[in-house]
Amino acid sequence: MRGSSSGWFVVAVQGLVLLESSPLDVCSSAWIAESMRTHAVFLRRVLALLVRANLVEAREGRNGGYRLARPAAEITLADIYRAVQAASPFAQGLEEFERACPLGSGLHVALAGIVEETERATLRVLAQHTVAEVARHLEVTGEAVAALSAPDERRRGLGSRTLR
């Protein structure tokens, strides 16, 4: 399991929406992390998974950074979920419960089919929504995007208004 899988998913979606909305062709991980108010090392781990899944392209070098590998309208939330999930969030803790309690092994077996069914339903719903749709829903304004690419002094105080 990659830490808090739902946290990774949310960070991945936010990063892809930011890349979609950015006026920059290529965004550095430092710029993305600062814009998202998250730690750059954690963000690079998430971005590495998105690169491996061919959702994001990475450019190395002095002017390197990240950009979407294909149009945002072609990247579904299911694509992102698959890229960052190591195991179903619905199965978290079952292995520990199995070891700690005599009922655990039976519970694991009883829930296995339900967990798989839930996972399929989750992917089915996520496949119906794209990064472009999320970006439109957030209505990232020109003012907010301009502020994202501005120096720190102009961005301070924008807080949660960065992505509405």
The CA-to-CA distance between both ends of the chain, in Å, stands at: 31
Residue 115 is predicted with a pLDDT of 82
Contact between 102 and 74 under an 8 Å Cβ cutoff? The reply is: no
Strands (DSSP E) contained in the chain are: 56-59, 65-68
pLDDT at 1: 39
- The answer to whether residue 85 is domain-embedded is yes
- 162: which DSSP letter? G
Residue 98 lies in a domain: yes
Compute φ and ψ for 72, nearest 5 degrees.
-60, -30
The reported pLDDT for the residue numbered 54 is: 97
* CA-to-CA dists, residue 153 to 15, 17, 63, 128, 159, angstroms: 22, 23, 23, 39, 12
Residue 161, in any domain of the structure: no
Q: CB-based burial of residue 114 (10 Å sphere; 0-12 exposed, 13-18 middle, 19+ buried)?
A: exposed
Query: How do the pLDDT tens digits run along the chain, 164 residues long?
Result: 344 556 899 999 999 999 998 888 899 999 999 999 999 999 999 999 999 999 999 998 888 899 999 999 999 999 999 999 866 666 666 666 556 666 766 777 778 788 889 889 999 999 999 999 999 888 654 555 555 555 454 444 333 333 32
Question: Phi, psi at residue 9, to the nearest 5°?
Answer: -60, -45
Residue 100 belongs to a domain with what CATH number? 1.10.10.10
Alpha carbon distance 37, 60 (integer Å): 23
162: left (phi over 0), alpha (psi -120 to 50) or beta: alpha
Q: Is residue 97 part of a domain?
A: yes
Q: Domain for residue 22, yes or no?
A: yes
What tokens were used for 29?
């991980």
Q: Which two tokens stand for residue 67?
A: 């950009």
Residue whose structure tokens are 């450019």:
59
Q: Residue 17 is part of which domain span?
A: 5-154
